[in-house]
A and B are shown apart, each in its own frame.
Chain A
């Protein structure tokens, strides 16, 4: 539980600082393009890693199951440009149905 509360507190402060940094420090000025590029690419990398770990990791082992299928269906729905909620719901429904069979 300590880990949960520590994480919440630190991330709340960090999130505030991340959001406030640009408007407070810069005013109207621009960051160097290199810095913007790196931050922009970090988002793609971290999101990919979160998807991979969330989908394939089960207590530290690689695992393919109903959850994996559900995430794949959501991915297809996103590629078809379905709205966020519909795509996520389709994936969840897929996993639920596979488990009920």
Chain B
């Protein structure tokens, strides 16, 4: 259900950013990642280049590499099959499949992701169809992207002090750079800055 609603808002907002009808649906079908698609819309919507948008989306999804490492021993079959089973790695399913102590349940991971995929693509179609009849700002829909990221961030910050330090440096850098650089640059610079800050902390 949250997946469906977020997908509807993605469709509506992508329409409002002049993505047309096909592109938002294609994005949900082949990317299937709220955080990456919102990052793309965020950076491109603010006038950023494709490169800046891609870098932002890839960085925000780098967490899936860590999740993939965690579930690696849980998946079955040869390399090709493992590669496709690994596509079931999304935040909610990964959390649901976590059995603790580094063990994961493959059936829960995949079983939880399939309905989310249907809801994600279906919701995007509904959002794109409704797009023209909705004024995103009047409904406060421009809050959805940053609020969704804030929710993911707060979960991240609960995992330790280093995360809070990295986030603090990244936030300060982004804030300072916004007036002086093209959109997208503050986001990339914030990452580099966070890593420098991490090194100094050690």
Contact = CB atoms under 8 A, between A and B. Distances in A.
Interface of A: 1-12, 14-16, 18-24, 26-31, 36-57, 59-62, 66-67, 70-71, 74-75, 78-79, 83-85, 87-88, 91-97, 99-100
A54 B149 contact: yes
A46 B66 contact: no
Band of interface residues on B: 35 or more
Given A43-B60, A53-B174, A74-B151, A15 B36 contact: yes
Nearest to A70: B143
B116 interface: no
Contacts of B143: 67, 70-71, 74, 88, 91-92, 94-95
A47 to B, nearest CB: 4
A3 B50 contact: yes
Contact of A36 (B18, B49, B69, B168): B69
A48 B167 contact: yes
B63 A12 contact: no
A52 to B, nearest CB: 4
A7 B2 contact: no
B81 to A, nearest CB: 9
Contacts of B128: none
A39 B67 CA distance: 10
Nearest to B171: A48
Contacts of B153: 44, 47-48, 51
A8 B198 CA distance: 31
